[in-house]
Structures are given as C-alpha cells and as structure tokens.
Structure 1
Amino acid sequence: MTLNNKQKQYLKGLAHSLKPVVLLGQHGLTEGVLAEIDLALNHHELIKVKVAAEDREVKQLIMDAIVRETGAIKVQSIGHMLTIYRQSEQRKIILPRG
C-alpha cells in the first residue's frame, strides 16, 4: 500500500496531537520493542515512535528498520519522532481518496 500526498497530509493532521506510544532507549531496537510497535499498530493504526539516538545516521537506520520490519508506511519523521501508519483489519482510520 502506498499513500498519496493528500492521504499523508490527512494522517499528519491526525498525528499532530498524538503522544509517542513507544520510546526507544539506550538498548535500541530489540525484538521486544518491535513487538510493542507491532501491537500498537494493530490497535491504533497510526502511532508515533520516539527514537533517542544521538547520531543522525544511526537514528535514520533505526527508523528505516522499524518501517521495514513492521510493514508500516512512514508518514513523517521530525527530529527524534517517527510517525508510521499501517492499516488494520478493523480499519479505524478512513483515508480520503486522492
């Protein structure tokens, strides 16, 4: 699934008031963290993940790995915050057609 610009803008608007559901700490991206992200995506569809890595390249690699491993779509990343979306079977968020 891919999102067009109109759909991404819509999701960014919905995500604006969200707090991060998962916080990555000093241990980085572990299987347990991935499981929590997967669980949160199944429940919410749209979530924020805070990646507290100091090095920009490491932070970007972690964010890319989260998107790849969860099968989610990256909506946006600003600073340490990653916003991702993955449609669930219940479809809680109805995306605009574009």
Structure 2
Amino acid sequence: MLTSKQKSFLRSQAHHLQPIFQIGKSGLTDPIIKQIEEALEARELIKVSVLQNCEQDKDEVAEILSEQEGIDVVQVIGKTIVLYKESKEKKKIVLP
C-alpha cells in the first residue's frame, strides 16, 4: 500500500506519460490484464485509458486491477487510470 506522499510523487512522475493501454468494448479481459502486468514489470508506472464504449465503469476497472498482486492504483482521473507496480528485476523508480 502506498502512502499519500508516495502517491503524490508517482502522480508527478506520471504527468507526462501517455496511456499505453485502452480498455474498450470487450472490457478488462485476462489477456489485457496479463499485458498490463508485463508492461508494469518493464516500466513500473503506466497509464490506462478507459474508452467510452467500455461496458465497465472506470472505477470498476481500477478495482479489478488493484486486486491483482502488487498493483497499486495511484490515481483515477477522468477516464485515465495511473498504475504502479514495483519491478522485481528492473527497478527504476525510487519512492520517497
């Protein structure tokens, strides 16, 4: 679980990032979750965009992702979710 200071730091780091995943009509499927986990292992901090035609609510998508092991939801703003997971091999971000 992240502290508010760590979340603030990660929000500032994520500000310039573009969403690398889009959750669309089919919703959050197992292959997409696996790809998100792989991207988090490589990058540690990513943005996911929830499209308007997605049948799941953005908060529901964030809830499902936060239930995955090690994934922390940093922020849900608009239709964008910021995710963080500490990398096991390629640690890049040092949290305060």
TM-score, normalised via structure 1 length = 0.86
Distance in 2 of aligned mates of 1:53 and 1:64? 18
Q: Indicate the residue corresponding to 1:94 in structure 2.
A: 94
Distance in 2 of aligned mates of 1:20 and 1:80? 10
Q: Percent identity?
A: 36
Going by fraction, where is helix more abundant, 1 or 2?
1
Aligned length: 95
Residue identity in the other structure for 1:95: L
Residue identity in the other structure for 1:92: K
Runs of 4+ in 1 over 4 A off after TM superposition: none
Deviation at 1:69, TM superposition (A): 2.4
Deviation at 1:54, TM superposition (A): 5.9
Query: CA RMSD for the aligned pairs?
Result: 1.9
Q: Indicate the residue corresponding to 1:9 in structure 2.
A: 8
How has the CA–CA distance of structure 1 residues 16 and 49 changed in structure 2, closer, same or farther, with 3 Å as cutoff? same
CA contact (8 A) 1:48 1:82 kept: yes
Q: Deviations 1:39-88 (Å, cap 9, x if unpaired)?
A: 11010000001112468x73211221012125311110001100010101
Q: Indicate the residue corresponding to 1:78 in structure 2.
A: 77
Residue identity in the other structure for 2:81: L
How has the CA–CA distance of structure 1 residues 54 and 70 changed in structure 2, closer, same or farther, with 3 Å as cutoff? farther
Q: Indicate the residue corresponding to 1:42 in structure 2.
A: 41
Distance in 2 of aligned mates of 1:88 and 1:45? 6
Match runs of 1:50-69 below 5 Å:
50-53=49-52, 58-69=57-68
Structure 2: gaps (5+ residues): none
